[in-house]
């Protein structure tokens, strides 16, 4: 993990890399998938789907063989985030590797990410 300041993380550690895309479940209950970068919705979805199969053991993201791609692509969101170390004074768990703050594209340290709420 590379840092540029005491709290900003420029290369956050993710759970896995699939098809060249670093991905992780985020949120208190893993209710969102995050990919580092904007790689196109189909490619990112493929990485998310593979992560669900390999990391969690599901059949696919929906854990349903009859599920199709159609609705999922519309739910994906490309945005930016600034990754940082946890701040226990704000109630954040000090053992977490990082926290992501959603940001404007021109914010210092902003990294492109793609999100999919499950």
Is 56 contained in some domain? Answer: yes
Q: Is residue 110 part of a domain?
A: yes
User: Which tens digits make up the pLDDT trace of 56-103?
Assistant: 999 999 999 988 888 899 999 999 999 999 999 999 999 999 999 999
Say if 37 falls within a structural domain: yes
Angle CA 3–92–53, to nearest 5? 75
The total number of structural domains that make up the chain: 1
Locate 24 and state its tokens. Answer: 């992780």
Paired sense of beta strands 16-18 and 21-26, if any: antiparallel
Residue 27 backbone class (left: φ over 0; alpha: ψ -120 to 50; beta: rest): left
The SS3 call for residue 43 is helix
Would you state the pLDDT for residue 3?
A: 45
**CA 76/CA 71 separation, integer angstroms:** 10
43 located within any domain: yes
pLDDT digits (tens, 9 = 90+) for 11-62: 999 999 999 999 999 998 999 999 999 999 999 999 999 999 999 999 999 9
Domain range holding 68? 15-80+104-117
For 86, 96, 99, the CA distances from 93, given in Å and listed in that order, are 6, 6, 10
Residue 4 lies in a domain: no
3-state SS class at 46 = helix
Kindly report the average pLDDT of the chain as a whole number: 93
């Amino acid at each position: 993990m590379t840092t540029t300041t005491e709290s900003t993380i420029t290369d956050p550690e993710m759970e896995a890399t699939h098809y060249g895309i670093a991905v992780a479940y985020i949120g208190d209950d893993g209710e969102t998938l995050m990919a580092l970068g904007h790689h196109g919705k189909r490619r990112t979805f493929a990485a998310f789907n593979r992560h669900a199969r390999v990391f969690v053991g599901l059949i696919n993201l929906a854990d349903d063989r009859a599920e199709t791609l159609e609705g999922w692509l519309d739910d994906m969101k490309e945005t930016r985030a600034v990754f940082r170390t946890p701040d226990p004074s704000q109630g954040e768990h000090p053992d977490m590797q990082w926290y992501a703050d959603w940001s404007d594209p021109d914010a210092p340290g902003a990294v492109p990410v793609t999100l999919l709420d499950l």
